[in-house]
Chains A and B, each alone.
Chain A
Amino acid sequence: MMANPYFPLAILFFAAMGFGLAPLGLAWAWASLVSPAKPNAVKNAIYECGLESRGDAWVQFRSAYYLYAIIFLIFDVEAVFLLPFAVAFTGLGAGACAAMLVFVLLLAEGLAWAWAKGILTWA
């Protein structure tokens, strides 16, 4: 057993586990000693603004909201990248311009797609 060259590593592993777990255990013991938990039905409710909780915290978002994500990407995130691009435009090489062109065209394609799908008109 002692001859195994990995034996010190195993000891170090358990020591490291001890360093990680001991503070957690101490915190748990300390809390249960000096400040025991006192839960009740209202305290365990998922909502905490004073109003009564309704339903579950695990709500589902409709996947149709991806459209808003795409439009947001086109109109907001694109502007964030375009502005520094425009500022540094004179100092950029052909490669950087091509990369930016690809990025803008990809987003423009998304815009064309959204337009064709008719989601830009307010229903």
Chain B
Amino acid sequence: MAVEPDLKIELGKQGVFVTTVSEIYNWGRKNSVWPMQFGLACCAIEMIATTMARYDLARFGAEVFRPSPRQADLMIISGTVTKKMAPQVVRLYNQMAEPRYVIAMGACAISGGPFKQGYNVLKGIDRYIPVDVHIPGCPPRPEALIHAFMTLQAKIDAQPLTGAERPRHLDAEAQGLFPVPEQGAHDLVPPVNRLVWPLPAPVPSGENCG
């Protein structure tokens, strides 16, 4: 930072406002996040409630839910991701505008939740796409989603515009395409995306895999 925080506060008291390019850039970014309008399961009801007058996500500049991935930069995975739906979710994620962010909302989205034992349920969407904020809960209340959103805003605010941690759209080398899984004989192929999922993957074992 070019200006020390104490000096900045002292200058502010005198009516002098100082900022940096990265601060004002990130300030603009974090206050104009456009979520994508899609709901997967019951958590979507809480997501809808969050956008309505009582909880009013518009206070954070995120009331513009876009029905097209090309106009959205936040994906709220609101509900159970079935293995039938996972390729579509990853494809939509690939089609979103950079820099894109993901909030995994609820127990199902982060781990499979109460349906974890189901043969048809993906055990967390972070096996295929990078998730920025996880919210537990079944479903999480709107306050929890708002908290997740504020956490994401803080994350955007802290992103440097240069160096290895810079957002993906400023990095010409960064890969924006995440492999879309396909329906295999027994499971999604591949079972995880190695770029985002470092933990051991489920190994298909003959007829009993799930």
Binding site for B on A (CB under 8 A): 34-36, 38-43, 45, 48, 50-52
Q: Give B80-109 interface residues, CB cut-off 8 Å to A.
A: 88-89, 91-92, 94-96, 98
B177 proximity list for chain A (CB < 8 A): 40-43
**Given A35-B169, A36-B170, A42-B94 contact (CB < 8 Å):** yes
Could you list 9 examples of A-B contacts with CB < 8 Å?
A34-B25, A36-B169, A38-B169, A38-B174, A41-B177, A43-B177, A48-B68, A50-B91, A51-B88
Binding site for A on B (CB under 8 A): 25, 68-70, 88-89, 91-92, 94-96, 98, 168-170, 172, 174, 176-177, 180
In Å, the complex CA distance between A35 and B168 comes to: 10
B169 proximity list for chain A (CB < 8 A): 35-36, 38
* Closest A residue by C-beta to B95: A43
B166 to chain A, nearest CB (A): 12
B88 proximity list for chain A (CB < 8 A): 50-51
A48 proximity list for chain B (CB < 8 A): 68-70, 92, 95
Q: Is the CB of B91 within 8 A of A42?
A: yes
In Å, the complex CA distance between A50 and B70 comes to: 12
In Å, the complex CA distance between A52 and B95 comes to: 12
In Å, the complex CA distance between A43 and B168 comes to: 15
Known: A43-B70, A51-B91. 7 other contacts (CB 8 A): A34-B25, A35-B169, A36-B170, A38-B168, A38-B176, A41-B177, A50-B91
In Å, the complex CA distance between A45 and B180 comes to: 13
In Å, the complex CA distance between A76 and B112 comes to: 51
B168 proximity list for chain A (CB < 8 A): 38
* Closest A residue by C-beta to B177: A40
* Closest A residue by C-beta to B70: A48
A41 to chain B, nearest CB (A): 7
In Å, the complex CA distance between A48 and B180 comes to: 14
